[in-house]
Amino acid sequence: MCTYLTEKIEVTGSGKGSAGWFALSDATVYFDHPQHALAEHTLNIDFLNPGNGPSARVAVELTAESARALVRAIEATLAAAPPGLI
């Protein structure tokens, strides 16, 4: 079966989808069968604006190893930002 734990968060920012840039309101994070990636399961992130319909979505499917590397990169980048910018 194909439906695993989903984390939902509210986000502020923008994403670029099939119709160009749009404002983001939500993100979902889940570990599930991918649509496209060649793996049995992947860490999937959907950046969304449900108010703009189902197509307002930027999706990524990452192997677990890649997802953890991304988390470390994000944390490292934010930690290295000059004081006062965050």
Partner 1 sequence: MTDALTAGTISITGHGGDEIEAYLARPLDAAPFGGVVVIHHMPGYDAGTKEITLKFAANGYAALMPNLYYREAPGASPDDAAATARALGGVPDDRLVGDVSAAAAHLRALEGANGKVGVIGYCSGGRQSFLAACSLPLQAAVDCYGAFIINPPPPERPLKVEPILGLAKDLSCPLLGLFGAEDKYPGPEETAELAKELSALGKEHEFHTYEGAGHAFFSADRPSYRVEAANDGWQRIWDFYGRYLAS
**Residues of the shown chain interacting with partner 1 in the complex, contacts defined by CB under 8 A:** 1-6, 8, 18, 28, 33, 35-36, 38-40, 46, 48, 50, 53-55, 57, 59
Half-sphere exposure of 24 (CA within 13 A, CB side): 20
12 versus 35: smaller Cβ distance to partner 1: 35
10 versus 81: smaller Cβ distance to partner 1: 10
47 to 1, 31, 53, 81, 82: CA distances (angstroms): 23, 15, 12, 23, 27
Nearest distance in Å: CB 3, partner 1: 4
Nearest distance in Å: CB 73, partner 1: 25
What is d(CA 30, CA 28) in angstroms, rounded to the nearest whole number?
7
